[in-house]
Chain A
Amino acid sequence: MQQTEKHREYWRRNLQITGVLLAIWFVVTYVMAYFAIPLAEINFFGWPLSFYMAAQGSLIIYVIIIWFYARYMRKLDLEYGVDEGDQA
């Protein structure tokens, strides 16, 4: 089958958004955990920040990342005409 430029662009944009979201994922998981000791000094509504992030904050961000990705890709599918039509 023939790949059009438009298809390649769709894939590039998919990779871009995937990369950006993975970067956010990496920061809230690993950078936060690596610097947990200094971050524990910061008070966040009663929690030490690093505890709050590991117990709740990161989880909320994960949920948002996945929600955003599904929404973004749905629009992208439509924009580039690779959506599944009515079936979805």
Chain B
Amino acid sequence: MSATVSANRAFFNQLRKYYTFYTGGFLAFVIVLAIAEQLGLPKVWIGYAFLVATIGLYAGIGIMSRTSDVAEFYVAGRRVPALFNGMATGADWMSAASFIGMAGTLYLSGFDGLGFVIGWTGGYVLVALLLAPYLRKFGQFTIPDFLGARYGGNIPRAIGVFAAILCSFTYVVAQIYGVGIITSRFIGVAFELGVFIGLAGILVCSFLGGMRAVTWTQVAQYIILIIAYLIPVVWLSVKITGIPLPQLVYGQVLQQVTAKGDELRVAPAEVAVRDIYKKNAADTKARIDALPASWEAGRAAAAKRVEDLKAANSTGAEIRAAEKALTDYPASADDARSAWNKQVASNNAKAAPPFQHATPYPTNKTGAAGEAERDTKRWNFLALTFCMMFGTAALPHILMRYYTTPSVQQARQSVFWSLFFIFLLYFTAPALAVLVKYEVYHNVVGSAFASLPGWVAAWATIDPTLMSITDVNRDGIVQLAEITLGGDIIVLATPEIAGLPYVISGLVAAGGLAAALSTADGLLLTIANALSHDLYYKMINPNTSTQKRVLISKILLLIVALFAAWVTSLKPGNILFLVGAAFSMAASAFFPSLVMGVFWKRANRWGCIAGMVAGLGTCLYYMSRTYPQFIEWFGTTRMDLWFGIQPISAGVFGLPIGLITLIIVSALTKEPSRETQDFVEHVRYPNLRGDTVRTAAT
């Protein structure tokens, strides 16, 4: 025993030394680049330097950790110390959506966006209290393994495999999408090429070394992403408040933002701009009502304008613009209706006065309608929080990480470290959103179009979907209502807003890439393991040699990754929705069976099967009939929302229905066998003397 302890301690010290050196080396690398930038290194080279250095580093770790040993490949040899497993889980957990999207969501939706923040952290309480220690004691390789062992037979395992693949695949598509966006923006290649470059970075590591390589790479990725996230925010905080602790001092900034917000809600220039949007919406609405005549008239007018310009010998640019307007004109009256409806909606959205950042469940309506809207928002906030929390405690790629610690005790500690490292980023994001809002309210609004702050002008030319400002009322001054911001800009542009050199922008992009790659790694591994370990080894061919199992896993990893990249290149919808959907599905499918498997001995096979099918089925049914894109794909008819709950939170129906089904069906069918009940006892105690059940695989 004590030999194991000293070996573990020596291993821990060695890891600490490596990663301290590594962090120092990385900072030195950033400093060297910063000096090179001052000496005139072009920006695009800095981008390449970051991309090549970080992906090369991940590949290096992957090659050094290559393995074909089963326990190493699936669970990193079960000797990852709690602290490092915490960092790895942090990187595994924080995806492109957390790193780049979260602060943007908070900027745009204020208090209501905080549902993601508490949901994605509070879920770890459930992981710690209800799952991690018991799964570690069970000590196999995958989550379907647990279902198979606890409930017996292949059906629970098979449903587990299906659900694990479904939610991991949905989630991984969102990650690869993020990788594509970052690489394409960062080094200026096409989106599709960016996807495949990123994929190479993902594969080189998980392919060679499985969980072992992924774990040690994720630790490295965590360090990069947290440095990249904190440096710009701290700097911005110094610029605005003079204090380098944004999380402690942004309350004051929030008060100023609120005061300024009150002013902007009623400022005459703002109201004038909003009235213009309102008029645009009304005009477009009138054209929709006059369809199809208005469509024909509009097309004739556009064609006539081209003719007139040509006849009048106008400049080429004017003619080209008019021709473009003609080619872009809706092809039919039906197309016109949907295009114009969108215009009405976007104009109406811009015509509404901005909500206060800190106000919960805001509404612009008054009286009973206002109360109703407020209530719907409140219930949606609670439902979203619910789904994100229970989804956290059910996503296989996260739960799997707790198989890799040396003991139950370390698994418990490891959840603490996981949440601590995640917390560092998540409690900074709301501060960042408020600081950027302060900048926009105070330094962009009210400035002259001729002298916009540098970052605004720069981003408006790079990508109009992220930043566009039009002088709607033609007074030469920026009004808040004239600014259109894409959420992703908040994190990407912070270095420039804070006046930092370009090297920090490169660092932020490298951090975003690290976040997306690390999550994609964990997810792909989950999918490949579910297929190779659970489906092939456990269900189809139990006599496979260990080498062959690992080989099959590697081949599947490649196939799944390419398939995911192909799906991603089709650009399937909204990232945040995909991520949220994965959480809802995981919560509905896994949570009841996993938790009841530990806490209720009476839960049996049929209960598990019925519960998982009912839970996941309800969740998928609700999404397929309420989310517009799914309705289009599956050809379903739209139904009304249940209690006004958005499709992203479908798990709020799926999980309870799954749980109730599990309880009822279990109670109606036979009690589980003596062995199963012994199994439950076995996972409940970290170490039971005289225990005859053996589950831990090595």
**Residues in chain A within 8 A of chain B (CB atoms):** 1-3, 7, 10-11, 14, 18, 21-22, 25, 29-30, 33-34, 36-37, 40, 44-48, 50-52, 54-56, 58-60, 62-63, 65-67, 69-70, 73-74, 77, 81-88
Contacts and interface: CB of A to CB of B under 8 A. Distances in A.
A63 B361 contact: no
Contacts of B254: 46-47, 51
B118 interface: yes
16 contacts: A18-B129, A25-B126, A30-B382, A33-B115, A34-B382, A36-B111, A36-B378, A36-B381, A56-B247, A56-B427, A62-B122, A65-B128, A70-B412, A70-B415, A85-B1, A86-B5
B419 interface: yes
Nearest to A14: B684
Contacts, number: 162
Contact of B121 (A14, A18, A59): A59
B615 interface: no
Contacts of A62: 121-122, 124-125, 419, 423
Interface of B: 1-2, 4-5, 111, 114-115, 117-118, 121-122, 124-126, 128-130, 133, 247, 251-252, 254-255, 358-361, 374, 378, 381-382, 385, 389, 406-410, 412-413, 415-416, 419-420, 423, 426-427, 430-431, 678, 681, 684-693
A37 B361 contact: yes
A48 B358 contact: yes
Contacts of A74: 409, 412
A51 B434 CA distance: 12
A54 B412 contact: no
Contact of B122 (A29, A40, A44): A29
B253 to A, nearest CB: 9
Given A48-B358, A74-B409, A84-B407, A10 B685 contact: yes
Nearest to A45: B251
Contacts of B360: 36-37, 40, 50-51
A83 B292 CA distance: 77
Given A50-B360, A84-B408, A33 B121 contact: no
Given A1-B688, A22-B129, A37-B360, A46 B251 contact: yes
A87 B125 contact: no
A55 B103 CA distance: 12
Contact of A40 (B5, B125, B359, B385): B359
Contacts of A29: 118, 122, 385, 389
Given A25-B125, A29-B122, A36-B361, A63 B416 contact: yes
A22 B420 CA distance: 18
Contacts of B689: 81-82
B429 to A, nearest CB: 8
A84 B122 CA distance: 28
Contacts of A81: 689
Nearest to B678: A1
B426 to A, nearest CB: 6
Given A33-B381, A58-B118, A86 B1 contact: yes
A22 B126 CA distance: 8
A37 B383 CA distance: 17
A33 B412 contact: no
B111 A46 contact: no
Nearest to A44: B251
B84 to A, nearest CB: 16
A3 to B, nearest CB: 7
B2 to A, nearest CB: 5
6 closest pairs, A vs B, by CB?
A46-B251, A36-B360, A88-B409, A54-B114, A55-B430, A86-B1
Contacts of A85: 1, 687
A34 B360 CA distance: 10
B688 A82 contact: yes
Contacts of A82: 685-689
Contact of B423 (A44, A63, A83, A88): A63
A47 B251 contact: yes
Given A70-B416, A74-B409, 6 more contacts: A47-B251, A62-B122, A65-B125, A66-B416, A84-B409, A86-B4
Contacts of B688: 1, 7, 82
A73 B1 contact: no
Contacts of A40: 358-360
A64 to B, nearest CB: 9
Given A36-B378, A40-B359, A59 B5 contact: no
A73 B412 CA distance: 9
A4 to B, nearest CB: 10
**A10, A14, A82 interface centre (most CB from chain B within 10 Å):** A82
Nearest to B106: A55
Contact of A56 (B5, B126, B430): B430
Contact of A87 (B5, B124, B133): B5
A15 B130 CA distance: 10
Given A73-B412, A86-B1, A1 B690 contact: yes
A44 B255 CA distance: 12
